[in-house]
Chains A and B, each alone.
Chain A
Amino acid sequence: MRLPFESAAVGTDTPWNELLALLLPAYGQTWAMVGIVMALVISIGGLMGIALYNTDRHGLFPRPKVHGVLSWIANMGRSLPFLVLMAAIIPFTKWITGTTIGIAAAAVPMTIAGIPFFARLVQNALNDLPKENLAVGLVTGGSATQIIGSTQIREALPALASAITLNTISMIEYSAIAGTIGAGGIGYLAVTYGYQRFDMNVMLATIVALILTVQIVQFLGDRIAHALARP
């Protein structure tokens, strides 16, 4: 016979055959979060990275002051640990989404953390391009858009693919942390079942799912970057 407190203290492991029913929706939620966040991060962070690069001394529109401000913003966004950032901006999250829990609420701090990170990755990718590219763009009569398109983004595509891969993996990790504020997804599953209810099977399943996901994302990212590289 089981004592009443035993289930709370020791927990009952979810049977293996029921795990999938628990895991799949959570997995879907994780990808929904990462997907929304990455779409915002790539567009906003990408623009910010291009702006960081082009306002710098060797960029298309050198503006030291604008560059300084952008750089300061990027550093600020990256100086807080994600957990602290998430808690600190709860009022902002609530103002934007009207809630502090769920996928939408998690997407706000994830996007805010992801944008400066991706911006720096884009800036680094562009910094690695040959310095003459800008002069080439100018002397061949390129407009600002043509120069950014053909001599910057297109030339940096392999490095940008790697940057997106790295950023996506970071966001998967952040989505798991966001699980602690009830964001849903794999992280939420791990916290509520694995941690709070000592459900070893769920814990193990989430760990395996996360490891596999990261491996697959990295593998695909490497393949894409390789396919984009030229001899």
Chain B
Amino acid sequence: MIEIENLHKHYDSAQGRVEVLKGINLSVESGSITAVVGPSGAGKSTLSHCISLLEKPSSGQILIDGKNLTNLSGKKLRAERRAIGTIFQNSALLRRMTVAENIALPLRNLGVVHEQMTSRVAELLDRVGLLDRANSYPGQLSGGQRQRVGIARALALRPRLLLSDESTSGLDPESTQQVLTLLESLRTDLGLAIILITHEMDVVRHVADNVAQLDGGRIAEYGKLHELVANPSSEAGSKLLPLRAEELPAGFSYSMTVAYLNDRVDPAWISRLGIEHGIRVALLGGSVEAHHDGTLGRVSIGVDGALPERVTQILASWGLRATVEEQVREEVGV
């Protein structure tokens, strides 16, 4: 488990002090993936550099399994770094080293003996499905393969935390999928805590358990992916599952947004509203997709034939949360 406590980072320049991180608190359980999202300039890369111990925070601390890793330096820092595996954007492999040599780099830096190194590298190559490419050079691999080598290198020293810094940006959809599938299996099989720093909402929706929305150096929103999507006032939620709903058509009295709260929702809930309760429903927009934790969904509907309170109540009993969006005002008689 990794805990980030009250992390601050500022830079002093000629123009004065620039505060980039203003007190970040975040904890990531082992065996879970937390996505850190946010607009550019929100402090994502500074946070990433602090977590990978490339930069020292101005104050606050980062604890891995209770051990404080901030403010270490020299040999101690080098030794403790092994608790954190970092995956870079564009994989950042060394071009003149073979795949096997790239994966062995952390082992060589720590002075692991040759036989152990060879067997560990083979194990890692197998893990990322690239046993046959051990002697290839990065230039001979596809983007997705290179990133899998990057992941193998990050895993070499059996870290407890895997930090992925925009590791899928620039990859084609198929390669992105390969990388995400690999990350999911690492979470489940190795029980790793994974922090995914990304701007790609598709990626977050696919693999994240928790989401932290960073804004102006603070965590503006944090929660389970499911809860954020189901929360109508969540900005992160609406970015994760955008709703481009149509205007309310004539003949319907109001529209509402309906979010899936769990995976026990009856997929036929719209027709049940009509058949069982005689309520007319117009589908205005929405997205529903499968997630390892259940169905994620946000749907906008137009309703006629029942009061909002009643519809909300019915839907709640089916595991759906409804919020009234737009109501046609009663025409005032002349």
Contact = CB atoms under 8 A, between A and B. Distances in A.
Interface of A: 130, 132-133, 135-136, 138-143, 146, 150-151, 154-155, 157-158, 228, 230-231
Candidate in A132, A141, A230 with the most chain B CB atoms within 10 angstroms? A141
Contact of B157 (A141, A146, A155): A141
A141 B54 CA distance: 11
A146 B94 CA distance: 13
Interface of B: 52-54, 78-79, 81-82, 84-86, 88-90, 92, 94-97, 105-106, 108-110, 137, 139-140, 153, 156-157
Given A140-B106, A150-B105, 5 more contacts: A132-B89, A136-B94, A142-B105, A150-B97, A155-B95
A139 B84 contact: yes
Contacts of A151: 94
B90 to A, nearest CB: 7
A143 B106 CA distance: 11
A25 B106 CA distance: 52
A155 B137 CA distance: 13
A151 B109 CA distance: 11
B52 A139 contact: yes
A130 B94 CA distance: 9
Nearest to B154: A139
A46 to B, nearest CB: 18
Nearest to A130: B92
A190 B126 CA distance: 65
Contacts of A136: 88, 92, 94, 105
B137 A139 contact: no
A141 B95 contact: no
B109 A141 contact: yes
B54 A230 contact: no
A141 B90 contact: no
B295 to A, nearest CB: 37
A135 B166 CA distance: 15
Contacts of B92: 130, 132-133, 135-136
Contacts of B96: 154-155, 157-158, 228, 230
B17 to A, nearest CB: 19
Nearest to A229: B96
Given A132-B88, A230-B137, A231-B139, A138 B94 contact: no
A151 to B, nearest CB: 6
Nearest to B98: A230
A158 to B, nearest CB: 8
A230 B139 contact: yes
A59 B92 CA distance: 17
A134 to B, nearest CB: 9
